[in-house]
A and B are shown apart, each in its own frame.
Chain A
Amino acid sequence: MQTGVFGKKPSEPIATIVASAELDPAKNGRSFLELHVAAVAAALADAGIAPADVDGLVCVGDMMGAGVEHTFLSEEIQDYFLFPNLRMQLGVQLGGASHLAMLEVAARAIQDGTCARILCVSAGTFPPIRDSGRSLMQMVCHPDYELPFAPSIPTIYGLMGQAWLDATGLGRDALAEAVTAQQAWATSHPVALGRAAGPLPVAEVLSARPIAGPFAYYDCSIPCEGGGAFVLSAPQAAGDFPHRPVHIVGTGEAHTHGFVLSLRDLSTTAAVDAGCVAFARAGRTPADMDFCQLYDAFSSNPLMLLEELGFAERGKAVELYREGRTWPGGDLPVNTNGGLLRFGHAGTASGICGLLEAHAQMTGRARGIQLERADLALVHAYGSMLCSHVTVILEAG
């Protein structure tokens, strides 16, 4: 069989997720370092290994203003646990896509033999949004040609979400379907932050107080603290660990812009290309997937991503929701912990949660609704203002 441009046969594992741990989403005010320490300790315990067994450490650099003292976060973590045998240590920064980019970098280091067991960690807190609004917007806006016009983060996502609604002829009620479905998952999850709200009918989502463009209160994710960690190993060594191995069989990246004013087609993201590459590497198609975890800072995102990743025709993803296929009991579960919208958005750590939920499902340890069939999964995340996209295809061993 040819290895092609991807350097591997389709479905041949690149590396294997052998352990993971997730912090409960919360609003407890724990420090940036404390959250990382808790995540690392829990993941080491889940893998049944000690710091000396770890030879790679990858983390995600602060992007929510945790402070200059965390500039060298990977070194802080190394020092806290005194990891003695690291052959690779790295901080990755790609916004909400950092965590899947971290997985890609670590998987390659496993594949090329640099490391045998890599610990990947990310934790964080979403800052008080409007108190720190100017600095938050300085991070994601062009300082000269966007910031002066006072867009909020929901405004920028709203420009892209509204462009997609304009292009498909759909209305806000389509977006509300995603919130309602994800709330159905969250109400069965013991620690999802949105669970207490109970069922959220479409009408209630639509009538919430408006935020920006097509987004009202429930169309926006719930800010919190949280995060977690996972351990990668070579596929051949996966039997050394207590859980069912979850192989990384395909990854793909694509990038369109840094600032929204440079995005020519506002109604389409780079997920189209990232997904194609990931599926080609995995030798799989959307129809093979048992479930999806799709990064969802706003309600438009899971709908757009389902279409761009090939699960529905343009403008038709909403039907997957209306037919109940993405709901508990459906044949294409999406965001089975409630997603960032209803589980919680842990700032710097946001993008790790979809991956950790996928791993929990595939190892039979979901804390909310456990899927009966969770052998093949797609996890997708994007960074900053829908700029950088990473798709990962997972296959249980």
Chain B
Amino acid sequence: MSDRAEEGATVFLHDLADAGALPRLTEVNRPFYAAAARGELLLPWCTQCAAFFFYPRSLCPRCLSNEVDWRLSNGYGHVVVAVVVHRPPWNDLSRPCPYVVVIVELEDGPRLLSTVENIPIEEVHAGLLVRAVFERVSDEQGLVRFLPR
């Protein structure tokens, strides 16, 4: 299902995304998804606040500035909370089940909802240290998932 790689190297996962649940690319989300397809975690950055925010918006939700830039994150973070999904949300979900949905807080501040892969489900818990990995869905679109580190 995935390539194990040396710590620090970019890892790509495969065959997890559900074709019926992929986002429509827009001007606002395109840089995020294009970066993830390249194996980079690119986050929106407010030049006024000098801080990241998430998710991508056309303006900063803190100060309403539309001077929104993009910066790379190192992709390191920890699990805030984890839930094992035993019953998939729809009948024809293609990925294997059970799987673990988590909220991850990045060292850079923002929080993402995602999954942790390649780990026994009972080992995912709050506080687990993780790093971002990528699932390339197309040349324009990648999903950000996490592995333990």
Residues of A bordering B, CB below 8 Å? 130-134, 136-137, 142-155, 158-159, 162-163, 166, 209-214, 260-261, 266
Contact = CB atoms under 8 A, between A and B. Distances in A.
Contact of A150 (B23, B55, B93, B111): B93
B46 to A, nearest CB: 16
A148 B23 contact: yes
B29 interface: yes
B14 to A, nearest CB: 15
Interface string B79-95: 01111111111110101
Nearest to B82: A162
Contacts of A131: 90-91
14 contacts: A130-B89, A134-B90, A148-B143, A149-B114, A150-B95, A150-B99, A151-B83, A151-B85, A159-B81, A159-B103, A210-B86, A213-B85, A261-B103, A266-B80
Contacts of B21: 134, 137, 147-148, 150
Contacts of A213: 82-85
Interface of B: 17-18, 20-24, 29, 54-56, 80-91, 93, 95, 99, 101, 103, 111-115, 126, 143, 145
A145 B112 contact: yes
Contacts of B18: 148, 150
A144 B55 CA distance: 9
Contacts of B22: 148
A46 B86 CA distance: 45
Contacts of B82: 162, 213
Contacts of A144: 23-24, 29, 55-56
Nearest to A134: B90
Given A162-B83, A163-B80, A151 B143 contact: no
A212 B86 contact: yes
Nearest to B104: A261
A142 B88 contact: no
B103 A211 contact: no
Nearest to B90: A133
Contact of A143 (B23, B101, B145): B23
